[in-house]
Structure 1
Amino acid sequence: MNVFKLKSELEAFLGLQKKENKTIGFVPTMGALHRGHLSLIESAKLKNSLVVVSIFVNPTQFDNSDDLKKYPKPLENDLKLLKQVKCDVVFIPDVKEIYSKKITSQNFDFDGLELEMEGKHREGHFDGVGTIVKKLFEIIKPDNAYFGEKDFQQLQIIKKLVKKLNIPLKIIGLPIYRESNGLAMSSRNSRLSEQHKKAAPFIYEVLRDTQQRFTSKTPKELTLWVEEKFKNNELLQLEYFTIAEEETLKTTENIQPNKNYRAFIAAYAGNVRLIDNIRLQ
């Protein structure tokens, strides 16, 4: 496993691989790796000559400085896990290597995708995401990049970024990887108290119940039902629930037969913010 901290060294190494017509699969992460990340790497290994994983906690996508400080950074364990899944290349730059002297975001227009859901609650978040993903794509120049559907809004925004900037690569979204109790795997789960770990699977239970009720209830009825369910849960605080069309991510009131929909949730378990979503048929 090759580990790089400098852009110049990584670019030189990957340039040689490209000359040998090797395809590059890329999995960007912020570290604190879990089974969900490893499943992305395993999928990438099946379709590419070599796989690059980046570990970089990107400061410009955090709207909460405490959240940035508390974000877990178990680098030694991450590298151990990457060796176990036979990752080829790891890029672990520091902030200065990525942003030089000025830690700021570029401003993006994602045709309104950035204004929905997370965009309403995390100011500047998607400018930060777009900035770091664009920088990493420019350094690594992958053929394929892999993202989990837990951050479905982020996935749609990155697809939009690639399309609008004509970046020559394929974005591949893969299903949410879950704990045995249904909780969506997340690096933030490690910060949950024992009490909140037991309570958090309620989020997925509500999503599955929403999925079952989708054909018999209107989106408004389902939203009110979910809000009521969370009011009766003392350990979890709902930030938002919405049923949105997959392409535009706009909240919908009327279901149209030729469109795809998802239910999205953001909730707090103590001071840990969790998000999840489910496809609705």
Structure 2
Amino acid sequence: MKIFSNPQELKIYLKEIDKTVGFVPTMGALHEGHISLVKKAKEQNEVVVVSIFVNPTQFLKGEDFEKYPRKDEADKQICKLSGVDVLFFPQAEDIYTDDEVSLNAPRIRGFVLEGNSRPSHFDGVLTVVMKLLNIVNPTRAYFGKKDAQQLNLISLMVKQLFMSVEIVPVDTVREKDGLALSSRNVYLSSPQRKEALKIVSSLHSAGMMVSKNILNSELITNEMRKILAPLEISYVEILNRDFQKIEILEIGNSVILVEAKVGVTRLLDNIWL
């Protein structure tokens, strides 16, 4: 496995090999969810590149940038054992300068749901993803469905800016108890972890209602909120795949999304129906 920190050196190396490239951008603290992205990339490409970069521009003031879990040496070993060909491990000064061109999230889709409570968050996400895609120039890039809004906005960016990369969504990986895998799960105490399972239960309940042909969005989200209590709920929404609110769930074109805080830890989850 080759390791690069300099963007230009990586660009030159990848240009010279002339092979299909699958790219998995991460913020490190790798888990089975990330490995599932790597496996999918290995199935579909000749070369797999993983980046590890905790992006400062997507954290708001007072958020957990300094405390965000960093496991650099363990992550390198995980990448090596997972068959990653190239690891891109830049520092902030490799990615950003003091006078940056700005990239803004769309005014509607970028400022609802998570974007509503974290204004400018998706500006930072889209900026760093754009930079990483331009550095790696992959054939395909892989993102988990758990971060559904992020996936939607990245796909929109690629479409609207006429980028040639294919964005590949990958299903959410869950722990044995059903909790969606997240680097932030390490913040949860044992009692908090039990509370976090209310998120999973609320989505399971929603799925059961849909299976009984109860498709009214308000009825479903009201029931979910009852199950989530007393967690601090940021949102419970049912949207179509274009991230527009819908009164009646459309099977095959809908996402049910939850964001809630367990203690001080913000957790996201969803189901695609």
Structure 1 residues 182 and 105: CA distance shift in structure 2, 3 A: farther
Instruction: Show the counterpart of 1:90.
Output: 87
State the shift of 1:47 in Å: 1.0
Change (3 A) 1:10 1:38: same
Question: What is the DSSP-based 3-state SS (H/G/I as helix, E as strand, rest coil) of the residue aligned with 2:176?
Answer: coil
User: What is the identity, as a one-letter code, of the residue corresponding to 1:239?
Assistant: S
State TM-score, norm by structure 2.
0.94
Q: Deviation at 1:104?
A: 7.5
- Answer whether contact 1:60 1:104 (CA < 8 A) is retained: no
Structure 1 gaps of 5+ residues are none
The answer to whether the Cα contact below 8 Å between 2:215 and 2:249 also exists between their aligned partners in 1 is no
Q: 1:30 aligns with which of 27, 33, 43?
A: 27
Please give the alpha-carbon distance, in whole angstroms, between the structure 2 residues aligned to 1:104 and 1:201.
Answer: 41
Mapped pair 1:230 → 2:225: no
How far the C-alpha of 1:86 sits from its partner, in A, is 1.2
Higher mean Cα deviation, 205-214 or 111-120?
Answer: 111-120
Shift of 1:118: 1.1
Residue in 1 aligned with 2:8?
8
Question: Any idea what SS the aligned residue of 2:255 has?
Answer: strand
Task: State the one-letter code of the partner of 2:132.
Answer: L
Structure 1 match to 2:48: 51
Percent identity, please: 40
CA contact (8 A) 1:60 1:103 kept: no
The Cα of 1:102 is off from its aligned counterpart by 3.9
| Aligned residue type for 2:247 | E
CA RMSD of aligned residues (A): 1.6
Instruction: Tell me, in whole angstroms, the C-alpha distance in 2 between the residues paired with 1:180 and 1:102.
Output: 46
CA gap 1:106/1:75 in 2 versus in 1, 3 angstroms: same
1:168 aligns with 2:164: yes
- Is the contact between residue 192 and residue 272 of structure 1 (CA under 8 Å) also seen in structure 2? yes
Please give the alpha-carbon distance, in whole angstroms, between the structure 2 residues aligned to 1:219 and 1:264.
12
Secondary structure of the corresponding residue to residue 69 of structure 1: coil
1:31-62, CA deviations, whole angstroms, 9 ceiling, x for partnerless residues? 01000000100110111111000001111111
Q: How does 1:42-81 map to 2 (within 5 A)?
A: 42-81=39-78
Gaps of 5+ in 2: none
What is the SS of the residue equivalent to 2:10?
Answer: helix
Between the two proteins, the alignment pairs up a number of residues equal to: 271
Candidates 256, 261, 268, aligned match of 1:268 = 261
**Partners of 2:21 and 2:139 within 8 A in 1:** yes
Aligned 8 A contact 1:268 1:274 in 2 = yes
Cα distance change of structure 1 residues 103 and 216 upon mapping to structure 2, 3 Å threshold: same
Question: Is 2:245 the partner of 1:251?
Answer: yes
The residue that corresponds to 2:180 in the other structure is 184
Give the alignment's TM-score, normalised by structure 1: 0.92
Inter-partner Cα distance in structure 2 for 1:275 and 1:182: 13
CA distance change for structure 1 residues 256 and 74 in 2, over 3 Å: closer, same or farther? Answer: closer
Q: Would you say the 8 A contact 1:265–1:276 is kept in 2?
A: yes
> How far did 1:164 drift?
0.8
Q: Measure, in 1, the Cα distance between the counterparts of 2:149 and 2:105.
A: 15
